[in-house]
Amino acid sequence: MLFLSTLAALAAAAAAYQTCVVPHGGAGIDDTIALNQTIANCSSDSQILFQEGTTYNIGSPVTFRNLTNIEIAIRGNLALPTSIPYVQAFVNASAGQRLDWFTISGHNVTLTGNQNNPDGGYIDPFGEPWWIASQLTEPGGLALRPHFMGFSANNSEVAYLKIRKPIGWVFSMSGSNLHIHDVDIDASYDLNNPSLFPFNTDGYDVSGVNILMENNHIFNGDDCVAVNNGAHNVTIRNMICEGGHGASLSGTDNIANIHFDNITSRNSLYATRFKSSLNSTGNVYNVTWSNIYVLNATFPIFATSAYFDQNTNRGLTPGNFGAGTKATNITNFSWINVTGTINDMYPGDGSCITVPCWYSIPGITNTPGIPFQMLPGSAQGIQVKNVNLLPIDGKGAPNTFCNSTYFSDGTANLVFECTNGPYVATSS
C-alpha cells in the first residue's frame, strides 16, 4: 500500500509539471494580454514557452512574480514597442517613474533564450532611435526611459539571451545563488562616431549573494557589470566587455568578497573601476580584479571615492570639498595581472557632454593610465601586482595619479611609485 501511494504521489508530481505555450496574436496584437492569462495558471512547476519561430509583441510591461520551479524559455523572439512616446507613457505612469519592462521574481527560476538556434532567443527593445533622439534633443539620454529587466530570485539561472539595442539599463540582478551565463548584450555603437552614444546602458547592476556570472559578452555605453551595495560572494569571470565603463564596483557599503577574473576589455573608457560618492560612510571589503586583458582603455585601473554626476557637483575633487567630508573605506582591494594597452590616442568616449568632462581628473598631469582618487586614510590593504600596460601608440609611459595619504597602511603593495606623473615601477 505504501508502495502504491508513493507511486501515486510521484505520478501526481510528474503530472503537475506542465508546459504553458504563450499564445501569439499576430501582427499588431499585444501578446502580453494573453501572456497575463498564461502566467496566472503557470506560476509554479511549469515551463512558460515562447515558441521558436515566433516573434511576440511585448507591448506592455510584464510582471512575473513569485514564480516557483519555472523555466521561462524564450525560444522565439520578443519585440518591445517601437513608439518612444508609447513606452514613455508607461514609465511616466509608474511609481517614481522607475519601471522595469520585465519584472521577474521567485525561486528556482530558469530564464533561457535559444541555445541551439542562432535566430532565436533575441529580445529587441529598439533602443537605437532613443539614442538618436537624445543626441538631438536631450543629451545624456531621453527622459522616461524604462529599465530592461529586474530579476530577483533565489537558486536561479539566466542564460543564452541576446538583448539587442537596449534603451538604457539592462539587468538589475538580486537574490541568492544565481548563475548568469552566455548572455549577449549588444548596445554597440560606432566608436569613431561616439556623438551617437548609448547612455546608461549598464549591462548588469548586481546586488545579491552567491552569484556567478560567466561567459557573457557586453558591448555598451556604461558599466559592463556594476556590483552594488548588498553584494556578497560574487564571481564574474570569462567575460568580454566592450566600449563601456568596465568591470565596476560601484557602491558605498555592505559589499564583500567580489572577484572579477579573466575579463577582456576592449575599447572601454575604464577596464576596471571602483566608484563611490563623497560623504558616504560605509565599507567595502575584499575585491579582486585578476587576469584583466586590456585592449585600448583610457583608464585600465581606476578607483575614486569622489564620483560625481556630470550635471551636479562638477569639479569637486579631493582637495576642494568641504572640511569633514567623508568617504567609503575600502579594504583589501587587489589588481593582479593587468596587461595590455592604454588609449592615449583618442582618450575618453561619447559619454562626455559637459566641460569639464565628468571623467576628467583635476590636477592630473596626463590623462590616460592608472588614477586613484581617494580621501586620506580611507584605503587599506591595496595591492597592485604584475601590471604591464603600455600606451597604444607605443610612445611614452603610462601615467599614474596617486597620493600616499590615501593608504592608512602605506604603499608597499603597489608596483609603482605613488605619484602624479609617469609610471615608475618600484622594486617590490
Ligand X SMILES: *[C@@H]1O[C@H](CO)[C@@H](O)[C@H](O)[C@H]1NC(C)=O
Q: Which residues are catalytic?
A: 222, 245
Stretch (H or E) spanning 159: strand 147-159
- 167: closest CA among 216, 136, 206, 202? 202
Q: Which is closer to ligand X, CB of 137 or CB of 277?
A: 277
Is residue 352 at the binding interface for ligand X, with CB under 6 A as the rule?
A: no
Judged by CB under 6 A, which of 281, 311, 365, 428 binds ligand X? Answer: 281
The CA dihedral of 235, 237, 242, 246, to the nearest 10 degrees, is 30
Phi, psi values for residue 130, rounded to 5°: -65, -40
Query: Residue 212 is placed in which grid cell?
Result: 556567478
Residue 177, Cβ density class (10 Å: 0-12 exposed, 13-18 middle, ≥19 buried): middle
Judged by CB under 6 A, which of 212, 353, 390, 397 binds ligand X? Answer: 212
Is residue 408 at the binding interface for ligand X, with CB under 6 A as the rule?
A: yes
Please say whether the beta carbons of 372 and 307 come within 8 A: no
CB-based contacts of 92, cutoff 8 Å, min separation 6: 144
Segment interacting with ligand X (CB under 6 A) among 48-56, 118-126, 274-282, 351-359? 274-282
Q: Which is closer to ligand X, CB of 54 or CB of 290?
A: 290
- 175: closest CA among 104, 236, 246? 104
81-110 binders of ligand X (CB under 6 A): 108, 110
**CB atoms inside a 10 Å sphere around CB 288:** 16
Please say whether the beta carbons of 203 and 236 come within 8 A: no
Q: How far is the CB of 250 from ligand X (least distance, A)?
A: 18
Q: How far is the CB of 419 from ligand X (least distance, A)?
A: 7
Is residue 362 at the binding interface for ligand X, with CB under 6 A as the rule?
A: no
Q: Which residue's beta carbon is nearest to the bound ligand X?
A: 322
Judged by CB under 6 A, which of 51, 63, 310, 383 binds ligand X? Answer: 63
Q: Which is closer to ligand X, CB of 134 or CB of 329?
A: 329
291-310 binders of ligand X (CB under 6 A): 291, 296
Q: Which is closer to ligand X, CB of 144 or CB of 209?
A: 209
- 100: closest CA among 141, 64, 134, 131? 64
Distance CA 391, CA 113 (A): 40
Distance CA 123, CA 165 (A): 9
**CB atoms inside a 10 Å sphere around CB 82:** 11
Segment interacting with ligand X (CB under 6 A) among 69-77, 79-87, 162-170, 365-373? 69-77
> β-pairing, 421-422 with 399-401?
antiparallel
Is residue 376 at the binding interface for ligand X, with CB under 6 A as the rule?
A: yes
Is residue 257 at the binding interface for ligand X, with CB under 6 A as the rule?
A: yes
Judged by CB under 6 A, which of 60, 77, 248, 250 binds ligand X? Answer: 60
Is residue 403 at the binding interface for ligand X, with CB under 6 A as the rule?
A: yes
Q: How far is the CB of 266 from ligand X (least distance, A)?
A: 8
Q: How far is the CB of 66 from ligand X (least distance, A)?
A: 4
**CB atoms inside a 10 Å sphere around CB 281:** 10
Is residue 19 at the binding interface for ligand X, with CB under 6 A as the rule?
A: no
Segment interacting with ligand X (CB under 6 A) among 79-87, 135-143, 208-216, 244-252? 208-216
Phi, psi values for residue 235, rounded to 5°: -115, 130
Concatenate the DSSP letters of all residues of 28-56 into one string: T--THHHHHHHHHH-SEEEEEEE-TT-EE
Binding region for ligand X (CB under 6 A): 30, 32-33, 36-37, 41, 44, 60, 63, 66, 68-71, 108, 110, 191-192, 210-212, 233, 235, 238, 240, 256-257, 262, 264, 267, 278-279, 281-283, 285-286, 290-291, 296, 316, 321-322, 324-325, 329, 332, 336-337, 343, 346, 349, 376-378, 386, 392, 403, 405, 408, 420
